[in-house]
């Protein structure tokens, strides 16, 4: 009995101890919950940014995998309420997740975020990627990214950014990609990019950049790709790209560039791809591309080029892809293409020439040879589509008919018309048929349209040996020969004729006068 009482007493004590312990745990948990709610309402930095339940909070974040403090590595935040001060306590809440590596902000209300939240970034020294979108960040201020030494990627697209101030992106030793597309950037300070030794890609697509200051990229010496597509740049010079000796790709499409002067890209020794399509290019210096010994791809499509300097490709003999579509080229000679001709024969090469204003003459003969020798399908298809123009036909207002298409319109070089090849047989070989248009067959609109466009032919359908060569143009310093009308004498000839007639009359009179004098002397002597 005594033993049973002892055992019962021990069991009672254990049960009592367990109940007291459970009550203590519940009280402790309740106190912690109350404290957490109080701190959330106060907005202090103790708030867990991944576990905000207050609907009135200015920032809400969703953290992948966990909501526990100090455990999240990726967070996506939404900014709903506008007018957040730079020193708002909400930014201190990011201290609850110090090991975040990926962070993004999506601004849901216009004007809700007008700056880079540097106060939040101060607590995120392990951050590797940041993305801010749809903000109203007019200026990127100095040291906006808080010297994040582990940051590798930063994207600030569609934030209405206008100015990049001095040291806007500074002391970011590991950043490799910086995306600033679809903003309103006008001005870039020459020291905006400072101490970015690993930056490889810089994107400025769809901004309002008009000029680039000399030395803007001097601290981005390891940059490999620079995208300036869809801006308003109109002027470039040799100093524009200082510091970019390692650049591989430069995209300048859809700007307002009109001229390329000599040595414009001379500092880009390692450039392999240069895109200049859809500009207003009218003039390119013969030495504009000098120094680009590594260039492989050149895009000049959709410009206003009427001709190319003969030695333009001398300094870029490694070119294997050239796009000259949709220009106003009248000719592209063998001398133009000779420095890179062999590069256009392998399978992966490209030469694109459609939609130009080529004239059908012997300067296009080389296209036949390249078409037969190249292995590039793209080049073959392009050459098959290249057209050229005969001189446009003229509609006679007197007879209301179209003269023959080839009748005295092409300026033939008589040296190529050998025995058995006359202009008539040349017309036959070029499949030009004479067609007389009866009055009323050709409307006025049709006539105007034809006179503007001329007669288009597919270059490769014209036999190479029948392409006429244009005569050499007479220099303006040469004096043209006089053309004298055989019927009406010119003024000097008229004077000569008058002088000649006077002399002739005098000569005719001289024998008669002498005869009279002699006869008078004889008569006087005889009768005296």
* CA dist., res. 400 & res. 393, Å (int): 13
> Nearest-CA neighbor of 134 among 103, 110, 163?
110
Structure tokens at 127: 């951050």
Nearby residues of 178 by Cβ (< 8 Å), 6 or more positions away: 153, 154, 169, 196, 199, 201, 202, 203
For residue 426, is pLDDT > 60? Answer: no
CB 345 within 8 A of CB 373: yes
**Per-residue pLDDT, 378:** 96
* CA dist., res. 351 & res. 191, Å (int): 40
CB 27 within 8 A of CB 41: no
> Nearest-CA neighbor of 126 among 146, 151, 145?
151
CA diameter of the chain: 217
Please give the span between the terminal C-alpha atoms of the chain, in angstroms, as a whole number. 217
For residue 509, is pLDDT > 80? Answer: no
**Average confidence (pLDDT) over 44-50:** 71
Structure tokens at 414: 């008589």
**Per-residue pLDDT, 510:** 45
Name the residue with higher pLDDT: 230 or 433: 230
Report residue 391's pLDDT band, with 50, 70 and 90 as the boundaries.
low
- Any alpha helices (H) in 250-365, and if so which ranges? 334-337
**Per-residue pLDDT, 521:** 56
Name the residue with higher pLDDT: 103 or 422: 103
Report residue 398's pLDDT band, with 50, 70 and 90 as the boundaries.
very low
**Per-residue pLDDT, 524:** 52
Residue 469 is given by DSSP the state P
Q: State the pairing for strand pair 153-155/177-179.
A: parallel
Report residue 473's pLDDT band, with 50, 70 and 90 as the boundaries.
very low
Read off the pLDDT of residues 261-291 as tens digits, 9 standing for 90 and up: 999 999 999 999 999 999 999 999 999 999 9
**Per-residue pLDDT, 337:** 96
Read off the pLDDT of residues 322-360 as tens digits, 9 standing for 90 and up: 999 999 999 999 999 999 999 999 999 999 999 999 999
For residue 41, is pLDDT > 90? Answer: no
For residue 293, is pLDDT > 60? Answer: yes
For residue 393, is pLDDT > 60? Answer: no
**Per-residue pLDDT, 482:** 39
For residue 44, is pLDDT > 70? Answer: no
Is residue 413 helix, strand or coil?
coil
pTM of the model: 0.72
Read off the pLDDT of residues 180-236 as tens digits, 9 standing for 90 and up: 999 999 999 999 999 999 999 999 999 999 999 999 999 999 999 999 999 999 999
Give the chain's mean pLDDT: 79
Q: Which of 62-76, 125-139, 471-485 has maximum average pLDDT?
A: 125-139
User: Given the structure tokens 């309420």, which residue do they identify?
Assistant: 81
> Nearest-CA neighbor of 170 among 190, 191, 139?
191
Is the backbone of residue 29 left (phi > 0), alpha (psi -120 to 50) or beta? alpha
Q: Where are the domains of the chain?
A: 351-486
User: Given the structure tokens 């509609």, which residue do they identify?
Assistant: 395
Read off the pLDDT of residues 439-450 as tens digits, 9 standing for 90 and up: 444 444 544 444
**Per-residue pLDDT, 8:** 74
For residue 487, is pLDDT > 50? Answer: no
* CA dist., res. 252 & res. 263, Å (int): 16
Read off the pLDDT of residues 73-132 as tens digits, 9 standing for 90 and up: 999 999 987 778 898 989 999 999 999 999 999 998 888 899 999 999 999 999 999 999
For residue 38, is pLDDT > 50? Answer: no
The answer to whether the Cα torsion of 393, 398, 401, 405 is positive or negative is negative
Percentage of residues of the chain with pLDDT beyond 70: 72
For residue 60, give the H/E element and its range.
strand 59-63
Taking CA atoms, 399 is separated from 394, 402, 404, 440, in Å, by: 11, 9, 13, 10
CB 352 within 8 A of CB 330: no
**Per-residue pLDDT, 373:** 96
For residue 40, is pLDDT > 50? Answer: no
Nearby residues of 378 by Cβ (< 8 Å), 6 or more positions away: 350, 352
* CA dist., res. 280 & res. 259, Å (int): 8
Report residue 519's pLDDT band, with 50, 70 and 90 as the boundaries.
low
Name the residue with higher pLDDT: 425 or 252: 252
Task: Tell me how long the chain is.
Answer: 528
């Amino acid at each position: 009995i005594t033993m049973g009482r002892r055992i019962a007493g021990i069991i009672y004590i254990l049960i009592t101890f367990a109940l007291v312990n459970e009550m203590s745990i519940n009280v402790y948990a309740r106190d912690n919950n109350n404290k957490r709610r109080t701190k959330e309402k106060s907005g202090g930095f103790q708030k867990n940014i991944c576990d905000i339940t207050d609907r009135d909070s200015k920032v809400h974040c969703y953290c992948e995998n966990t909501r526990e403090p100090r455990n999240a590595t990726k967070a996506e935040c939404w900014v709903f309420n506008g007018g957040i001060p730079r020193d708002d306590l909400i930014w201190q809440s990011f201290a609850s997740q110090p090991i975040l590596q990926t962070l993004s902000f999506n601004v849901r209300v216009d004007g809700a975020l007008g700056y880079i939240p540097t106060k939040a970034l101060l607590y995120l020294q392990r951050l590797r990627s940041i993305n801010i979108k749809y903000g109203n960040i007019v200026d990127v201020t100095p040291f906006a990214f808080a010297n994040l030494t582990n940051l590798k990627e930063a994207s600030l697209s569609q934030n209405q950014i206008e100015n990049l101030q001095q040291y806007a992106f500074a002391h970011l030793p590991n950043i490799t990609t910086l995306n600033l597309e679809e903003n309103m950037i006008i001005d870039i300070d020459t020291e905006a990019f400072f101490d970015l030794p690993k930056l490889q890609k810089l994107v400025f697509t769809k901004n309002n950049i008009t000029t680039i200051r000399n030395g803007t990229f001097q601290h981005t010496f390891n940059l490999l790709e620079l995208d300036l597509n869809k801006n308003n740049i109109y002027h470039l010079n040799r100093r524009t790209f200082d510091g970019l000796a390692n650049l591989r790709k430069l995209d300048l499409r859809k700007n307002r560039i009109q001229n390329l002067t000599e040595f414009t890209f001379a500092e880009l020794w390692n450039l392999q791809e240069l895109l200049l399509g859809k500009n207003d290019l009218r003039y390119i210096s013969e030495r504009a591309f000098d120094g680009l010994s590594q260039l492989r791809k050149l895009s000049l499509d959709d410009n206003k080029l009427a001709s190319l300097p003969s030695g333009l490709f001398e300094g870029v003999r490694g070119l294997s892809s050239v796009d000259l579509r949709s220009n106003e080229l009248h000719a592209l000679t063998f001398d133009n293409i000779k420095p890179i001709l062999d590069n256009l024969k392998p399978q992966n090469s490209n030469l694109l020439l459609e939609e130009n204003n080529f004239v059908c003459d012997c300067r296009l003969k080389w296209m036949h040879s390249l078409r037969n020798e190249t292995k590039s399908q793209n080049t073959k298809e392009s050459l098959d589509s290249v057209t050229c123009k005969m001189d446009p036909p003229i509609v006679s207002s007197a007879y209301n008919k179209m003269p023959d298409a080839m009748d005295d319109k092409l300026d033939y070089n008589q040296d190529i018309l050998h025995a058995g090849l006359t202009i008539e047989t040349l017309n036959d070989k070029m499949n030009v048929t004479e067609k007389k248009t009866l009055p009323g067959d050709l409307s006025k609109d049709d006539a105007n349209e034809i006179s503007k466009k001329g007669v288009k032919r597919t270059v490769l359908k014209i036999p190479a040996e029948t392409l006429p060569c244009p005569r050499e143009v007479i220099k303006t310093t040469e004096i043209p020969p006089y053309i004298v009308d055989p019927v009406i004498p010119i003024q000097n000839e008229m004077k000569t004729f008058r002088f000649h007639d006077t002399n002739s009359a005098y000569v005719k009179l001289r024998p008669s006068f002498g005869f009279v004098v002699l006869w008078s002397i004889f008569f006087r002597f005889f009768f005296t």
